[in-house]
Structure 1
Amino acid sequence: MEQSNDRLRMMILTALFTAIICILAQVTIPLPLVPITGQTLAIGLVATILGSTYGALASLLYLIIGAVGLPVFSSFSGGLGVLIGPTGGFIVAFIPTAFFIGYYLEKTSFTVFNAIIANIIGMFITLFIGTAWLKFAADLSWKAAFLGGFTPFIVVGIIKAVLAAWFGIVVRNRLHTAKLIVA
């Protein structure tokens, strides 16, 4: 019975953290090709707190909710058009990014140091997949894709990775202490 309760608790937390991704996605700084958003911060937080399986599941749920047309992507956008458009690769990349961050932490330990490493690597996973998608979806050269979808996001991405790591570990530890999260 306790295992069933743990699973239900984690599913509820997954839904809650999916909502947090939806909310942070609305924090946007417009740039010419790809905006800076709170989505990547949210993905790092979710994966750091929930781990690989539930972090990836929250990211997948976010993608599905947006794909069916609910305005949960940046600037209150939604629909399949966003996913197949120039920025769709960044959104799709959230799933392997979240899985990697959580997996890395599960295989090492849930410390701020390890979370920073995992989140920085995760940031690069998102940027590489998103930039490759941008190149083909917008019919850009590799140079233009990297200049528009990769390089402007490195510094802010590292800042968001550190914030997600630190805050994520603090929240995870508190949820664990309160017995609201499975270790």
Structure 2
Amino acid sequence: MSNTSAVAGRSNVKVLDLVYISIGAALIAICSWISIPTAVPFTLQTFAVFFVLLLLGGERGTIATLIYILLGAVGVPVFAGFSGGIGVLLGSTGGYIIGFLFMGLIYIVLTRVFGKSLAVKIIALVLGLAVCYAFGTVWFMYVYTRNTGDIGIMGVLSWCVFPFILPDLFKMALAFVVAKRVEPAIK
């Protein structure tokens, strides 16, 4: 294989990575628009983050998530309810969106250290989701207290975490099933 062919081959892989990352970011945006409005909206956003990490891998999936967040930060209406802007991220629910990055980072670390078995992927996503909840809850408490008044941890958990645990675990299971079905098409 000549040097030109090797460079062209690497260039094609990079272009394909960019395409997958872009599609991943778009999928997260589309899934965030599918929502049931509550204090923290029920969306398919977490399904999309799980799916993108499982299908694209930790690095590409986390980059897709970061691009999604950056698009929203600059005002593109990619967040729940077709909203966007830095105000959404700085608002009471912004910590849960930023928490998606921690989910990706945990997925990267655990799959690199312990391999990519089903058990490792499940543990990585569950642990990542727990960290996302924790970061988002602390963020929510800080912003809510600053803007509205004191709120207890149980109040925040009852609004922002407890109602989402079972649906998020269902979305995670669904992401595993769908990723397994789609995976052969992108290899």
TM-score under structure 2 length normalisation: 0.86
Aligned with residue 79 of structure 2, among 67, 73, 83: 73
How much is the aligned-residue C-alpha RMSD, in angstroms? 1.7
More helix by share: 2
| Amino acid across the alignment from 2:176 | A
- Say which structure, 1 or 2, has more relative contact order (CA 8 Å, 6+ apart): 1
Identity in percent: 31
Give yes or no for the alignment of 1:159 onto 2:170. yes
Per the alignment, residue 17 of structure 1 pairs with 24
Per the alignment, residue 4 of structure 2 pairs with none
How far apart are the structure 1 equivalents of 2:120 and 2:174?
13
CA distances 1:118-141 after superposition (whole Å, capped 9, x unpaired): 322222222111111111111122
CA distances 1:31-75 after superposition (whole Å, capped 9, x unpaired): 2x2111111111001111111211111111001100111111001
Q: Judging changes above 3 Å, is the alpha-carbon distance between structure 1 residues 86 and 152 closer, same or farther for their aligned structure 2 residues?
A: same
| Amino acid across the alignment from 1:168 | A
Per the alignment, residue 30 of structure 1 pairs with 37
4+ long deviations beyond 6 Å:
none
Give yes or no for the alignment of 1:129 onto 2:139. no
Pairs within 5 Å for 1:1-183: 1=7, 2-31=9-38, 33-139=39-145, 140-176=151-187
For structure 2, the residue ranges without an aligned partner over 5 or more in a row are 1-6, 146-150
| Amino acid across the alignment from 1:5 | N
Q: Judging changes above 3 Å, is the alpha-carbon distance between structure 1 residues 173 and 96 closer, same or farther for their aligned structure 2 residues?
A: farther
Counting matched residue pairs gives 175
With 100-109 and 138-147 compared, the bigger mean Cα shift is at 100-109
Q: Judging changes above 3 Å, is the alpha-carbon distance between structure 1 residues 85 and 65 closer, same or farther for their aligned structure 2 residues?
A: same
- Please give the secondary structure, in 2, of the residue aligned with 1:71: coil
Greater Rg by CA: 2
